[in-house]
Each structure stands twice: as C-alpha cells, then as structure tokens.
DNA sequence: TGATAATGCCGAAAGCCATTCGGCAAAAGC
DNA sequence: GCTTTTGCCGAATGGCTTTCGGCATTATCA
C-alpha cells in the first residue's frame, strides 16, 4: 500500500507514557520552543541535562514530531484562509487528492465523516487564487463538488496540547 | 473594543517586503526550525550573522510569529480530531465562544462564511470528551446547534508556507 | 552627477548554551 | 537480596548564537 505511507492514523500511534513533568514540558515547548534548557529546568525543578534527556526521548518516541517556525499568513502573502469540503463520487477518489500535498497553499488534508469525504484547509493570496485551486480540484475525475467556508476572523490557532493529567 | 485584542484580522497585517532569500529562509524554518545559522547560511549563500539578522528582522516584523514544537496528537492522549461547525442565533453570540480558548482541546476558533457562524478545530481523547465539549457549547445561551466532522485520516498537516515569488 | 546616508554583508571574537560523560541514587526486575 | 535499569546531577567541552567593527553596495537627495 504505497498510498498509506504518509497517512497519519491514530491506531498506528499508541499513547506514550508521560509523567507530569513530561506534560508540562511538552506544554511549554508547544507554546515556545526557543526556551533554553536552563529556563525549562527552573520551571520543572530539573537540571539542564535532565531536561535535555527528556526532550531527546520525547523526540525519539515521536511525541514531538518537529520544531517549526509559525509564519504570519497575512504577512507572507496569504491573507485568505478557507476550509473546503470536497464531495466525491467514491471513496477511492480520495487517493487522487494527495497530489494537492504539493501545493503550498494547501495546509491540511483530512478524510472526514459527514456528507462530504474530504476536508481541506487552504491559505491563498486572494479569492482568485482560491478559485484557481477549486478549478483544479473540480478538474480531477471523480469529484462531485465543493463547499467552501472562508474564515472571516481567527480567534485562536495553535497546535495540540498535552492532557492535564493521566 | 476589548474583544478585538486577540483577534487576527488580515487588514491589520499588511504583507511584509520579502526577497527571495527571505522566502526560502521562511520555508526552511517553517519546515524545521532546529537548523543552525551555519546550515541555513550554506543553503542561502550567506554567513551565519547575515542569516541571524534576517531572522531577527522577520521576528520583529511579525512575519515569524513563534517557534513551537509540534506534538503528536495521538501520543499525548488526543487521538480524535474533529471540526465543529457552530450555529448561533445571532452574530453577537460569537463573542461568548471565546471562553473556549481556555480549553486545551480547542485548537482553532474562526468565524466563517456559510450557514454556520463559527468553525472549531478540536482534539479530544475520545468521543466521550467530544460529547462533553459539545454539551458545554450547547449550554451557552444563543447557540442553535452544531455539526461535527470527525477526521478519519490526516494526510497533511502543516503551517503557512511563503509564496514562491513576489 | 556627486556627496551622504542607509542597508546588508562579512570576519573575528566573546560568551552562552547544548551536549556529552562519569558517577550516583532510587526504583524495578529476577 | 542481588542485579539491572532508570533518571538525575555536576563538571567539562565544543559548537553555536550573538555582538561588533568595518566594508561594499545601494538608495537618497541636492
């Protein structure tokens, strides 16, 4: 199954064993990963090497997937955020949507429950660029239609946070 | 307008002037922010201090909003990703939704076009936790109902990428 | 066009910080 | 009860960030 290579399925990722220090550490890093191990150590009552070992372990276990810079969509020329529900004639067609991964304006691709098969999160320069993208999607065989929801204001946007307790 | 403090509106963030090196630099950092200035300098044909100055400027200009660790939702006890469309009786009610910002399972809050006023991205431990959240939303006055779309598989999930050219 | 200011870069140096290592204590396994 | 494992610390090292002075190029303005 070549198509499954880059798929993220919950069943493939059993929860890791984390203690309270791990969880607060993850919360701190999910908020700001530029903090030094010394600073984190102060907040956790640990020495810098101890914090380092925990981070290293969390990385190896795949709990920390990556460290990335969060860019301001508007300031990099993509002020328009849109959620696109994609209707298909059959589930097999969803495979063809993976070509959209190569497009820089496409940020998320999910298969979802409900009346449409897939959900996209896309960020474009303007409505024209959104239209171009929708045109491209409709050109692929097996697509019935799309429903787009344009984000007017964004009040919160962050990544996954660790649960408070075990 | 106290309520606008944390709102992100495109009109408040005019695009920054970026050259090609800025864009490739942003692309690299959005992908992996652990790269050293020496490594980035090699890729950009710049010295480490030059890269540092650019990153510093991009941070000050708000182009780089933050550096964060991306956590594996499944491994931190939140395997269930759901998009929730929230219907309200009036637009004013959307203000009340901001209390949801405090909940760790809520990752995104947007006002959107279309039949419902708001769109949430939430990540919970299980369907029970999702139900608790929906119950909480419905308990707030002014809400008509919700439509939830559970993510079955996630094929792509990343942040904003800079545009290819000016 | 020519003087001046501003920008962006480099190389060198300083200092902080990540990273490694040895050793220890507590917990877990047998 | 002994052994193994785990997690932590303190010290030391090396790499990297960060600062600084100076230079070249470009922009500004007369």
* B107-158 tens-digit pLDDT: 999 999 999 899 999 999 999 999 999 999 999 888 899 999 999 999 999 9
Q: What is the CATH number of the domain that holds A133?
A: 3.30.70.920
Residues B84 and B129 in one domain: yes
Dihedral pair phi/psi, residue B110, rounded to 5°? -130, 150
Domain count, chain A: 2
Residues A53 and A90 in one domain: no
Q: Is the pLDDT of residue B11 over 50?
A: no
- Angle between helices B20-31 and B48-60 in degrees, nearest 10: 80
Residues A101 and A41 in one domain: no
Percentage of chain B exceeding pLDDT 90: 77
Residues A21 and A41 in one domain: yes
Residues in chain A: 166
Q: What pLDDT sits at residue B153? A: 96
Residues A51 and A104 in one domain: no
Q: What pLDDT sits at residue A140? A: 87
Q: Is the pLDDT of residue B7 over 80?
A: no
Residues B63 and B84 in one domain: no
Least confident residue range of A73-77, B49-53, B77-81, B90-94: B90-94
Domain termination residue (choose one: B50, B70, B90): B70
Q: Which CA-bearing residue is nearest the C1' of D15?
A: B36
- Is residue B143 classed as helix, strand or coil in its secondary structure? strand
Residues B110 and B146 in one domain: yes
**Is the CB of B134 inside 8 Å of chain A's CB atoms?**
no
d(CA B140, CA A100): 38
**Per the CB < 8 Å rule, is A111 touching B149?**
no
Residues B146 and B117 in one domain: yes
Q: What share of chain A is helix, strand, coil (3-state, %, to 5)?
A: 40, 30, 35
* Contacts with A101 (C-beta within 8 Å, 6 or more apart), sequence order: A6, A109, B155, B156
d(CA B121, CA B118): 10
Q: Give domain status of residue A44, yes or no.
A: yes
Residues A84 and A120 in one domain: yes
Q: Give domain status of residue B5, yes or no.
A: no
d(CA A134, CA A139): 9
Q: Give domain status of residue B58, yes or no.
A: yes
d(CA A86, CA A117): 6
Radius of gyration for chain A, computed over Cα atoms and rounded to the nearest angstrom? 20
Residues A146 and A84 in one domain: yes
What mean pLDDT value characterizes chain B? 90
Q: Give domain status of residue A125, yes or no.
A: yes
CA distance B18 to chain A (A): 8
- Is residue A33 classed as helix, strand or coil in its secondary structure? coil
Q: Give domain status of residue B44, yes or no.
A: yes
- What burial letters (b/e) apply to A64-100, b meaning 16+ CB within 10 Å? bbbbbbbbbbbbbbbbbbbbbbbebeeeebbeebeeb
Strand D footprint nucleotides (protein C-beta < 7 Å): 7-11, 15-21
Q: Give domain status of residue A145, yes or no.
A: yes
**Per the CB < 8 Å rule, is A8 touching B153?**
yes
Q: What is the CATH number of the domain that holds A34?
A: 1.10.10.10
Q: What pLDDT sits at residue A7? A: 54
pTM: 0.90
* A8-17, B15-24, B70-79, range with greatest mean pLDDT: B70-79
* Contacts with A95 (C-beta within 8 Å, 6 or more apart), sequence order: A3
Consecutive 10-residue averages of pLDDT for chain A (166 residues): 46 75 97 97 96 97 97 96 94 89 97 94 97 94 92 97 78
Q: Give domain status of residue B166, yes or no.
A: no
Q: Which structural domain range is residue B111 located in?
A: 80-150
Residues A45 and A91 in one domain: no
Q: Give domain status of residue B27, yes or no.
A: yes
Domain termination residue (choose one: A5, A40, A70): A70
d(CA B57, CA B68): 18
Residues B60 and B94 in one domain: no
Gap from B31 CA to C12 C1', Å? 31
Output the DSSP codes for B52-99.
Answer: HHHHHHHHHTTSEEEEEEEE-TTTTT--EEEEEEEEESSGGGGGGGGG
């Amino acid at each position: 199954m070549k198509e499954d290579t880059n798929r993220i399925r919950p069943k493939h990722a059993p929860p890791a064993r984390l203690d309270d220090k791990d969880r607060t550490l993850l919360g701190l890093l999910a908020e700001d990963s530029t903090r030094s191990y010394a600073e984190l150590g102060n907040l956790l009552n640990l020495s810098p090497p101890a914090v380092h070992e925990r981070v290293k372990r969390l990385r190896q276990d795949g709990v920390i997937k990556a460290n990335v810079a969060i860019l301001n969509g508007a300031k990099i020329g993509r002020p328009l955020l849109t959620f696109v529900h994609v209707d298909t004639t059959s589930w097999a067609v969803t495979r063809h949507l993976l070509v959209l991964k190569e497009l820089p304006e496409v940020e998320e691709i999910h298969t979802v429950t409900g009346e449409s098969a897939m959900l996209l999160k896309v960020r474009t320069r303007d409505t024209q660029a959104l239209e171009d993208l929708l045109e491209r999607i409709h050109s692929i065989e097996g697509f019935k239609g799309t429903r787009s929801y344009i984000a007017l204001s964004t009040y919160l946007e962050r990544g996954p946070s660790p649960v408070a307790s075990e």
